[in-house]
Amino acid sequence: EIVLTQSPGTLSLSPGERATLSCRASQTVNNRYLAWYVQKPGQAPRLLIYGASSRATGIPDRFSGSGSGTDFTLTISRLEPEDFALFYCQQYGSSPRSFGQGTKLEI
């Protein structure tokens, strides 16, 4: 099973700043099969990025994903107030699908 470790656990920033979230895998993620989600309290997760760098439908271009192998990054170029939430990475290159433990982005 691939274990995903996200860092930092909590990231404290202000609106307008740039956020960089990391996701490190215990083994190579095949074909860059890595996704990012955002989750707000009481809501289901929302897909942001798939294939490591492809934005999902309706996701603004301030969100970008990069990386390959075992190291992946989600960057939010200029934080908006609605971006403060919980972010998860997830790999689907091998079974079982697995998630990171999450990064909380707080003001």
Partner 1 sequence: EVQLVESGGGLVQPGGSLRLSCVGSGFTFSSYWMSWVRQAPGKGLEWVANIKDDGSDKNYLDSVKGRFTISRDNAKNSLYLQMNSLRAEDTAVYYCARRGDYWAFWGQGTLVTVSS
Asked if 98 is part of the footprint of partner 1 (rule: CB under 8 A), the reply reads yes
Nearer to partner 1, 84 or 88 (CB): 88
Count the Cβ atoms, other than its own, within 10 Å of residue 49. Answer: 23
Number of residues located near partner 1, criterion CB under 8 A: 22
Q: How many Å apart are CA 97 and CA 43, to the nearest integer?
A: 21
Q: How far apart are CA 56 and CA 89, in angstroms?
A: 14
Rounded to a whole number of angstroms, the minimum distance from the CB of residue 12 to partner 1 is 20
CB nearer to partner 1: pick between 17 and 106:
106
Q: In what order do the strands lie in the sheet with 4-7?
A: 4-7, 19-25, 71-76, 63-68
The footprint of partner 1 (CB under 8 A) covers 33, 35, 37, 39, 44-47, 50, 56-57, 88, 90, 92, 95-102
